[in-house]
A and B are shown apart, each in its own frame.
Chain A
Amino acid sequence: MHETIQAIILGLLTGGVYALMASGQTLIFGVLKVVNLAQGALVILAAYLSSSLFASFGIDPFLTVPIVAPAMFLLGVAVQWCLLRPLHRSDASQLSLLVTFAVALGIEGLLALVYKSDYRTMQPSYANDSWTVAGYQIGEVRLAACLLSLATLGALALLLNRTRFGRAVRATVQNPTAARLLGVESTRVAALGFGLGAATAAAAGAVYGMVYSFNPNSHYDLISRLLSIVILGGLGSLGGTVVAALAMGVLSALVGALVSPVWSDFSFFVVLLAVLLVRPRGLFGARLRGAL
């Protein structure tokens, strides 16, 4: 029983880390209807930037977020403006897959050139610390990641629901043509939306870099998980992303601890396929997408 409860705790905390990473992916799909295959690479890029600031200047990884986030935002805006905006509208969804994958490969190549392929991890003094509560271990960084994830998602929700920019985003999501007729500059909204999605990678990268070892190739494993989470949650649904990430974390941890780690990822995909058979839009895709 102890093993099971510990696995659930670890799974929930791991799910929180993934929710943070997947939130940008969801936002970008919600705004642009673009499946951003570069999101994993953006997280790894942010992890490297955060790691460099930590190693060179001793800046705590969490404090690197406000430094890295604007850079990631500008990168996201540039990618959208220079590479995605020119795509022909009728083919944009399909071609954006190729464009974002190319961006991911470009980032990977650049990172390999600059940082080499050795694995690295950020190790502030508290990186592997945990609190013992009733005999169970709660990782400090993972718990912080959960809280950061909630804060990020909350901020995004506020931005989308309480600001003029948010209304423009939601109008663009619901009906781009009508939004344009009402004076919304949809291309600008799209660029800012992509930039915001990329900026969330700053927080995700800082956490990822402390919890896991990473190298330039790490984005391949990461993007497959992020896509699975946003598809299970419902493409474009922030709330669905959180639920799916927590489900993935708990299921993987339970199967890994009680059955075998060989089956932990597979079990999640079985659940994903089962849900999609019953609900092709994912858990919350239909209900919440419009509310993004």
Chain B
Amino acid sequence: MSNPSTGTSRGAGSGRSGVRTAAAAVVAAGLALAGCSSSSAAKPAASSSVQGPLTIGISLSLTGDFSDSGKAAQRGYKLWAQTVNAAGGVLGRHVVLDIVDDTSSPTQVVTNYQNLITKNHVDLVFGPFSSLLTVPASQVAKRYGYAFLEPAGGGPAVFSQALHNLFFVQPAPVVQQGDVFADYILSLPAAERPTTAAYPALDDPFASPIAAEVRTRLEAAGIRTVYQQIYPAEATDLTSVVSAMAAKKPDLVVAGTQSADAYALVKAMVLLKWAPKMLYLSNGANDPLNFPTNVGAGHVNGIFSSGDWFPTATTSGNAAFVAAYTATYGGTGTSIDSTSAEAYSCGQLVQEVAAKTGKVDNATLISTLHSGSWPTLEGDLSWNSAGAANSSYVLVQWIGGKLLPVFPANRAQSTPVLGKLPWGG
């Protein structure tokens, strides 16, 4: 699964962090720019009485660092538009997507949404990829009273803005991704629970806080921490981390990871022939396509992870989505990037609000989505006042070479398997 918040590449981590640091300045610049503009230039309204197509403006990273994920989001948005248009559109209006490239730049994304709203006069806007771009983009949307359904900005900076018009279309903020694993551990009978745990984590705002949240809860439940370590993004070789961790003999390892370091941790454990009784990796292991090819298909069984969407999910419209996606773009369910599902879900929400209210304007979207629960590919979503969804991620485990949802019970397709990991230990 692609990281919904940061893009995917650790190799450019230092560069990205520099860009992230600049994000605050860009937000300020965006606000100043918006402040200088005339709010009357935009028309944040699109009701059922308006004739013509329903235009939706979207800025996506079609080039630059986030381009792979940006293109995945584009596929999701386009697939939804194609699907809804084939069914007659939204309230009879043909959906037209106005997609522009932001080159993964937090500066360009501000310009893009400014232009989409004030020059192109789009009826609605959907969000870009990554928290880095969502923060400044959402400020522009707020300025003009647009609802901001965004599929991939789940970092703390997004929700600290406390924007009433923002809706993160994933089950929960990214830092809560590991909570479902803590819930599972605490649901086990005392005799089956681990007694000691280790918490290695990548020095990344979308990795280490996940492990820290789980640690806080497990420590409160009496599970003793025997090792915790944050490793830098440049650390390509984690054998020394695993060697030190193994010396502490933890029952459980909860690792706050992205992709490459998740692979490196597993490879190091295999090389050192050491395995804990239970292993949870926040990211990397939740990618059904790339994880087995990077650590070896024989080394995946038993490993836990968590995520927001999976091809076999029984959520609203998922089977149809997977079928339409593979028919349109080829491949199989496992080759679908979760970002596509997240983007598609934004469209589902517009459809549902339109069906319920008979309207599809921004004010209606904002007020309506803040009440009740809304079924999407991501599960049933509702939001707090800052736009963070109130649901939880799904715990998954590699069982028999397949990545299966195992917890909570209402999303599970298999029972968790507790036993030795397939190497050493």
Contact = CB atoms under 8 A, between A and B. Distances in A.
Contacts of B263: 119, 121, 213
Interface of A: 2-3, 6-7, 10, 14, 112, 116-121, 123, 127-130, 132, 137, 139, 211-221, 252-258, 260-262, 264-265
25 contacts: A7-B240, A10-B243, A119-B10, A119-B290, A119-B294, A120-B293, A121-B294, A123-B293, A128-B271, A132-B273, A213-B259, A214-B11, A217-B11, A221-B234, A252-B237, A254-B240, A256-B241, A256-B244, A257-B240, A257-B244, A258-B244, A261-B231, A261-B241, A264-B240, A265-B234
B9 A212 contact: no
B299 interface: yes
Nearest to A113: B67
A149 B386 CA distance: 56
A117 B240 contact: no
Given A7-B240, A256-B241, A217 B9 contact: yes
Contacts of B241: 256-257, 261
Contact of B273 (A121, A137, A256): A137
B264 interface: yes
Contacts of A262: 203, 230-232
B231 A128 contact: no
B124 to A, nearest CB: 30
Nearest to A2: B247
Given A119-B290, A260-B229, A261-B231, A3 B236 contact: no
A48 B52 CA distance: 49
Contacts of A216: 11
Given A130-B271, A212-B237, 16 more contacts: A3-B243, A6-B272, A14-B237, A112-B67, A117-B68, A119-B260, A119-B263, A120-B294, A121-B263, A121-B293, A123-B295, A123-B296, A213-B264, A215-B260, A252-B240, A261-B235
A55 B175 CA distance: 36
Given A128-B270, A137-B273, A261 B293 contact: no
Nearest to A128: B270
Interface in B326-372: none
A174 B346 CA distance: 67
B31 interface: no
Contacts of B272: 6, 130, 137
Contacts of B236: 212-213, 218, 221
B8 interface: yes
A139 B234 CA distance: 21
A7 B294 contact: no
A7 B242 CA distance: 10
Contacts of A219: 11
Interface residues of B, number: 42
Contacts of A2: 247
Contacts of B294: 119-121, 123, 213
Interface string B10-44: 11101100000000000000000000000000000
Contacts of A261: 229, 231-232, 235, 238, 240-241
A129 B264 CA distance: 14
B78 interface: no
Contact of A6 (B14, B235, B243, B299): B243
Nearest to B266: A128
A117 B9 contact: yes
B103 interface: no
Residue of A128, A132, A215 contacting most chain B CB atoms (<10 Å) = A128
Nearest to B66: A117
B271 A118 contact: no
B293 A139 contact: no
B94 interface: no
B118 interface: no
B267 interface: yes
Nearest to A139: B271
Contacts of A218: 11, 236
B391 interface: no
Contacts of B295: 121, 123, 128
B85 interface: no
Nearest to B258: A119
A10 B246 CA distance: 15
B314 interface: no
B240 A116 contact: no
B115 interface: no
B247 A3 contact: yes
Nearest to A6: B243
B243 A257 contact: yes
Contacts of A213: 236, 259-260, 263-264, 294
Given A119-B294, A128-B271, A130-B273, A220 B231 contact: no
A139 B8 CA distance: 28
A253 B240 contact: yes
A218 B240 CA distance: 20
A76 B44 CA distance: 57
Contacts of A118: 8, 68, 259, 290
A260 B245 CA distance: 11
Q: Nearest 10 pairs between A and B by C-beta?
A: A217-B11, A256-B240, A128-B270, A261-B231, A257-B240, A217-B12, A213-B260, A121-B294, A218-B11, A257-B244
Contacts of B65: 117
Contact of B11 (A128, A211, A221): A221
Nearest to B267: A128
Contacts of B299: 128
A266 B238 CA distance: 16
B48 interface: no
A220 B234 CA distance: 10
A268 to B, nearest CB: 11
Nearest to A14: B237
Contacts of A256: 235, 240-241, 244
Nearest to B259: A119
Contacts of B14: 220
Nearest to A249: B237
B243 A7 contact: yes
A252 B228 CA distance: 19
Given A121-B294, A127-B296, A213-B294, A10 B239 contact: yes
